[in-house]
Amino acid sequence: MIATLNKEAQHVLGIPELVIITERVDDVVLLIAQMIRMGLPQVLDKHIPRRGCQRKLSWGWTATIWLAYLLTEGDHRKVSVAQYIAGMHNTLGRVIGQAVEVLDFDDDRLSHLLKHLSKKKTWNAIERDLNKQSITVYQLPTDLVRFDMTTVSGFHAVEEGGLMQFGNSKDDPTLPQIKLSVASLDPLGMPLVVETVSGEHADDPLYIGLIDQVNAALNKPGLVFVGDCKMSALATRLHIVLGSHFYLSPLPKIGSTAKDMPEWINIGLDKARDGELEAVFRQNESGEKKLIASAYAFERTEQQVGEETVSWQERVIIVHSPAHAERQAQGLEQRLTTAQQQIEALTPAVSKGKRQISEEQKLSTAIMAILKKQRVDGLLKISYEKQRASQTRYIGKGRGSSSREQRTTEKIRYQITAVQRDDAAIVATKQRLGWKAFVTNIASSALSLSDAVLCYRKEYRIERIFNRLKSRLNIAPLFVKRNDQIEGLCHLLSLGVRVLTLTEYVVRQSLQTDKVKLPGLHPENQRKETDKPTAERILKAFDGITLTIIQDANGNEVLRWLSPLTVVQQTILNGLGLDGAYGLLTNSG
């Protein structure tokens, strides 16, 4: 904006007009400063080659600035980055200490960056160095690692050998997808290893590769690996044992577990009646203890027979969760209602256009199909009757008479007369709901039954990685098309999750160490204070910070002014060790 000065101001300043530049700074400075502290630009520059004809801005700084944009705007379309840079180049240049130009972020250059990040050897080296840097700088615990997978869809054409393929999806099975495999460091939930594979892959075989990469990253025995039931495949458990590590995961209700589970539940019910189940409590934010489960455990020997037989001891933990039982009971009630409605609809009243069932076998088959689909076999009592209707007609054309031959036909249909709940069977079924089996090779002296249950209950920590990828960073739907662009973008966005996770972890640690709580982070309740702010609320607290630069017509700076930082903002920056980050925008440079 150009402002023309009045005569008095012109006389004082000696210039006729001023150029006023305003840039919306917000959380960008915090994000870039945090990435610098993490060593992100240096690690990327170390592993992504720089060529002689390349522009001045390195790949590490290009990725860092692009990530700041992604975390602020949540838009991974490359075409939108250049416009953002054009409106932020003063802020960005001052923070990183070098000139930032729009041409550094054109589509071709960003595509080239993603191509580098898609290379397996390069990406593994970047992850390994970032993990080492973060663990050292922030003194992170490295004893427990969680594993999980998710899918990301897009409006892509499916090609042979491509990453986008149809597969089992909880999001939209009509769209092709990729699969992301993640290993995260507990308790902060920081991504340690991120792998991208085509969407048709099953989860089970992916765990061993992730485990090997975690071994290379942490390089220490005795790690505890926690994952869902797909991680409990015998081959995966054997691999963990041979690597001198430990596992904790639920057992899927298939195979031998499906056969054994009824008896394990019977034992659990007997122990519950005799008061022999161990109660598991969890403390809420108010300090109150709440019963979340009851459990018992037994030991068994697991064995893998091959060229060399390997045996090891493991505990099977049988857990009953009241909350899980309640959810299953609600689901059962819904299925019973659905089954009842569908069965009653099999035999509608006789009317035009309503097809009737005339064979008992067809009716029985239809009823059994509904009971099986709704998983309520044996819980409903169904009654039906055979109905006959006779109809006499004259044979041939013309009027009828007493001497004309007639033919009598009989129509048979079946009518369901009652669909009733078997209350005794339903009660017995509900008593057996809410039970799960877990397996671990950690001795009870090292991990008690209660601690094992509580440990798995914190599986939500890795789920937050996927939530941030899909909400804050809006990874789905994917807009990039080529395989290398898809893989490179997934890796880049995982770095964004790493930034969010470490920011949240460090601020929380600082607040709890200093016994300080931050007010004003909850718009719905301005008086609410917290010492456990999320990264999203931390960044939101920096909304409204602007940089104003006043220049003369020749481009010489007359004034730099930055919105004053609030006490909350200063507290956050102090906790992150970034006290002077925003001061770079006003210091002479």
Q: Using one digit for the tens of pLDDT, what is the confidence trace for 304-327?
A: 877 778 899 999 999 999 999 999
Confidence of residue 12 (pLDDT cuts 50, 70, 90): very low
What percent of the chain lies above the pLDDT cut of 90?
69
Closest of 485, 588, 498 to residue 31, by C-alpha: 498
**Looking at the predicted structure, is the pLDDT value of residue 16 above 70?**
no
Average pLDDT over residues 153-181: 89
Give the pLDDT confidence score for residue 170 in this predicted structure: 75
Confidence of residue 51 (pLDDT cuts 50, 70, 90): confident
Q: Which fold is adopted by the domain 137-285+293-321+436-480?
A: Transposase Inhibitor Protein From Tn5; Chain A, domain 1 (3.90.350)
Average pLDDT over residues 61-73: 95
CA angle 536, 283, 515 (to 5 degrees): 55
The packing angle between helices 120-138 and 107-118, to 10°, is 80
Q: Alpha-carbon Rg of the chain, whole angstroms?
A: 33
- Distance (Å, rounded) from C-alpha 143 to C-alpha 218? 9
Answer for the pair 64, 579: CB distance below 8 angstroms, yes or no. Answer: no
**Looking at the predicted structure, is the pLDDT value of residue 418 above 50?**
yes
Average pLDDT over residues 110-119: 95
Q: Establish whether the linkage from the previous residue to 477 is cis, with ω within 30° of 0.
A: yes
Closest of 512, 506, 511, 571 to residue 542, by C-alpha: 571
Give the pLDDT confidence score for residue 11 in this predicted structure: 44
Q: What is the pLDDT of residues 562-572, one digit of tens each?
A: 999 999 999 99
Give the pLDDT confidence score for residue 53 in this predicted structure: 62
Structure tokens, 434: 């809410």
Indicate the burial class of 153 (C-beta count within 10 angstroms; 0-12, 13-18, 19 or more): buried
Out of 23-27, 79-83, 257-261, 352-356, pick the least confident: 352-356
**What amino acid occupies position 286?**
S
Strands 246-250 and 435-440: antiparallel
Q: What is the pLDDT of residues 352-404, one digit of tens each?
A: 878 888 888 999 999 999 999 999 999 999 999 988 877 767 777 767 677 77
Average pLDDT over residues 276-291: 86
Coil, helix or strand for 95? Answer: helix
Give the pLDDT confidence score for residue 555 in this predicted structure: 66
Give the pLDDT confidence score for residue 460 in this predicted structure: 86
**What amino acid occupies position 254?**
I
Q: What are phi and psi of 393, to 5 degrees?
A: -135, 150
**Which part of the chain has CATH 3.90.350.10?**
137-285+293-321+436-480
**What amino acid occupies position 32?**
I
Average pLDDT over residues 182-193: 93
Give the pLDDT confidence score for residue 520 in this predicted structure: 87
Which residues partner with 19 through β-bridges? 2, 551
Angstrom distances, CA of residue 328 to CA of 270, 323, 430, 431, 512: 21, 9, 8, 11, 38
- List, as one string, the DSSP characters of 535-587: HHHHHHTTTT-EEEEEE-TTS-EEEEEEPPPPHHHHHHHHHHT-TTTGGGGTS
**Looking at the predicted structure, is the pLDDT value of residue 284 above 90?**
no
Average pLDDT over residues 8-12: 49
Closest of 529, 530, 533, 528 to residue 504, by C-alpha: 533
Give the pLDDT confidence score for residue 358 in this predicted structure: 86
Structure tokens, 274: 């005799």
Q: What is the pLDDT of residues 518-549, one digit of tens each?
A: 998 888 888 888 999 999 999 999 999 999 88
**Looking at the predicted structure, is the pLDDT value of residue 477 above 70?**
yes
**Looking at the predicted structure, is the pLDDT value of residue 10 above 80?**
no
Structure tokens, 563: 């919105």
Give the pLDDT confidence score for residue 54 in this predicted structure: 67
- Distance (Å, rounded) from C-alpha 425 to C-alpha 403? 61
How many CB atoms within 10 Å of residue 355? 7
Average pLDDT over residues 65-84: 92
- Average per-residue pLDDT for the chain: 90
- Distance (Å, rounded) from C-alpha 284 to C-alpha 278? 20
- Distance (Å, rounded) from C-alpha 565 to C-alpha 558? 22
Out of 70-84, 329-343, 400-414, pick the least confident: 400-414
Give the pLDDT confidence score for residue 542 in this predicted structure: 95
Out of 9-18, 346-355, 407-416, pick the least confident: 9-18
Contacts of range 228-233, beta carbons closer than 8 Å, 24 or more positions apart: 228/147, 228/148, 228/459, 230/149, 230/203, 230/204, 231/147, 231/207, 232/439, 233/204, 233/207
Tally the residues of the chain.
Answer: 589
Instruction: Name 160's Cβ contacts closer than 8 Å, sequence gap at least 6.
Output: none
Indicate the burial class of 243 (C-beta count within 10 angstroms; 0-12, 13-18, 19 or more): middle
**Looking at the predicted structure, is the pLDDT value of residue 6 above 80?**
no
Average pLDDT over residues 249-270: 95
Coil, helix or strand for 364? Answer: helix
Give the pLDDT confidence score for residue 52 in this predicted structure: 63
Given its phi and psi angles, is residue 249 left (phi above 0), alpha (psi -120 to 50 degrees) or beta? beta
- List, as one string, the DSSP characters of 100-155: --GGGGSHHHHHHHHHHHH-HHHHHHHHHHHHHHHHHHHT---SEEEEEEEEEE-S
- Distance (Å, rounded) from C-alpha 433 to C-alpha 326? 8
